[in-house]
Chains A and B, each alone.
Chain A
Amino acid sequence: MMRTIHPLYLVAFMLVLLATLVWQNTKIQGLIAYEQHERVEARSMAKRIVELKKVMKSPQKRQLDNFLNSSVFGGSDLSFRVKNGRYIINSKRMNARQLESVLNRVLNMTVKVAQLKVESKDDRYVSFYMEIVL
């Protein structure tokens, strides 16, 4: 029969308490490290997405309109319109200079080309069809 709390019981209780505190500390520190790592990873991913979005940004319709309205494409029977979220450029008669010009300009823009068809009509002219995702 114990007359009072035995010191060894008290020591044992303190050890259990200490072990619990250490365990809790380690557990929460682990959680913090995990969440910080997750945030770093998420930030890195968000930056990559923002960069990719910048690169793959939708073209300015007006920019394309202005370019295709220029005198370079005179006599090329060129038409351009927007249909189902796509900018469609169509020409039935385009010479080499005009073809080079349109390819140079469009391909140097950060646009997503969905479809392209260049077909030789004769030695001088080609037909041109291009769909750009808006």
Chain B
Amino acid sequence: MNLTKLFNRSSVIGLIDKHTGTVKVTDKIDIILTPSYYWVKRAVLEVSFAAQALKFAPSIFEGILPEGHFSYFVVKSKKEYLFFAYNADEIIKSIQEKGIESSQISGVYFAQNELSNLTAPIACNDKDVLVMHQETLLQVPKSLVDETTVKRSMDEVKTLSRNKITLYKSSVTHTLKELTPLMYALGALIVLYTTQLFFTYSEHEKISAMPSVFKEYKLPQTLIQNNSIEKRLRGEFTDQKSFRKIIFTILQLPLSQRQKITTVAYEKNLFKITFEMQDYARLRDVELSFKKSLGKLVKVDITKNIMTVKIK
């Protein structure tokens, strides 16, 4: 395995092959996978973008791939497209076996994309080397090349392309299997809340369709109108109650033989009571009697022999 510590990178780059032994990673690693992990095919398609070409990937690899669940990756190269097929689960398993934690992986790349400028064979394990042949990176036995030209490090690789592949299992993702219980739970909750929403909505519709309460009681439709009616009726009721209390109090007034009421007049919540007596100062006793009986209901004023009682 070749590890290159790059000058301006916090992670190392590692060329990983199926036969690579245990790898010791202290920080982060960008993994370049050798062709032992993937299948590659070239095709010219009448589409503009790699994303559009991706849907043709399964048919391009049809009959070539062994049994298993494969993922596809497409890179546009001049006028043609490079199609990659890889078994993500197998790659994950292999990487884990080499002692690399998913949290240590910064990115995973294909050697085809990262070593396209390869000028000399580069060793990828004890037996094989990677060579460029007609723009395709091949993994061949070491015996087929001149061993003196074989490079053992990846010093040439300074930067990586943007063609990072996504494996299901990484530091931030989970397998579908692991997420299944969560998805079931969420699905159950969604069904539950959808059912509840249906019933809640029906209930709301039912309440909204109900006739107005005021209509049942043959009252005006709006709350403002009814507020006003209630206020007016309550005011009238209170005034009439006070009116009767005052009349009752007038009839009960403790007047002496020489004192008498000459006039009682009431209009617009105001009583005017005219007394006839020798000493009008004694009206204070009558006022006290009023206040004692009616308390906070009235406001009493006295001018000479006329007592004004206003209902509050």
To the question of whether A and B form a pair in one complex, the answer is yes
Q: B183 and A10: CB pair below 8 A?
A: yes
Residue on B nearest A4 in the bound complex, by CB: B71
Q: B179 and A53: CB pair below 8 A?
A: no
Q: B214 and A115: CB pair below 8 A?
A: no
Please indicate the chain B residues that have their CB under 8 angstroms from the CB of A72 in the complex.
none
Given A21-B193, A49-B219, A113-B240, are A11 and B200 neighbors across the interface (CB < 8 Å)?
A: no
Q: A8 and B179: CB pair below 8 A?
A: yes
Residue on A nearest B54 in the bound complex, by CB: A1
Say if the beta carbon of B263 comes within 8 Å of chain A. yes
Q: What's the least CB distance linking B162 to chain A, in Å? A: 10
User: Interface 1/0s, chain A 103-125, versus B by CB < 8 A?
Assistant: 10001000111111111100000
Given A7-B176, A21-B190, A46-B217, are A52 and B230 neighbors across the interface (CB < 8 Å)?
A: yes
Q: A39 and B265: CB pair below 8 A?
A: no
User: Interface 1/0s, chain B 189-229, versus A by CB < 8 A?
Assistant: 11001101100110110011010111011010001001101
Please indicate the chain B residues that have their CB under 8 angstroms from the CB of A32 in the complex.
200, 203-204, 207
Given A1-B54, A42-B214, are A6 and B186 neighbors across the interface (CB < 8 Å)?
A: no
Q: A2 and B264: CB pair below 8 A?
A: no
Say if the beta carbon of B37 comes within 8 Å of chain A. no
Q: Quick check: which of B27-35, B231-239, B289-297 contacts chain A, the rest being far away? A: B231-239
Say if the beta carbon of A14 comes within 8 Å of chain B. yes
The distance in angstroms between the C-alpha atoms of A113 and B2, with both chains bound, is 110
Say if the beta carbon of B51 comes within 8 Å of chain A. yes
Residue on B nearest A117 in the bound complex, by CB: B265
Residue on B nearest A46 in the bound complex, by CB: B217
B57, B73, B212, B213: residue with the most chain A Cβ atoms closer than 10 Å: B213
The distance in angstroms between the C-alpha atoms of A24 and B251, with both chains bound, is 67
Residue on B nearest A13 in the bound complex, by CB: B186
The distance in angstroms between the C-alpha atoms of A17 and B227, with both chains bound, is 43
Q: A17 and B190: CB pair below 8 A?
A: yes
Please indicate the chain A residues that have their CB under 8 angstroms from the CB of B201 in the complex.
28
Q: A120 and B189: CB pair below 8 A?
A: no
User: Interface 1/0s, chain A 1-39, versus B by CB < 8 A?
Assistant: 111101110110011011001101100110110011001
Given A116-B264, A117-B266, are A49 and B217 neighbors across the interface (CB < 8 Å)?
A: yes
Give 29 CB contacts A-B under 8 Å: A1-B50, A2-B166, A3-B57, A7-B168, A7-B176, A7-B183, A8-B174, A11-B183, A14-B186, A14-B190, A17-B190, A18-B186, A18-B189, A21-B190, A25-B200, A28-B197, A42-B213, A45-B223, A45-B230, A46-B217, A49-B226, A53-B233, A56-B237, A107-B244, A112-B240, A116-B247, A116-B266, A117-B266, A118-B264
Chain B interface residues toward A at CB < 8 A = 50-51, 54, 57, 71-74, 165-166, 168, 173-176, 179, 182-183, 186-187, 189-190, 193-194, 196-197, 200-201, 203-204, 207-208, 210, 212-214, 216-217, 219, 223, 226-227, 229-230, 233-234, 236-237, 240, 243-244, 247, 251, 260-267
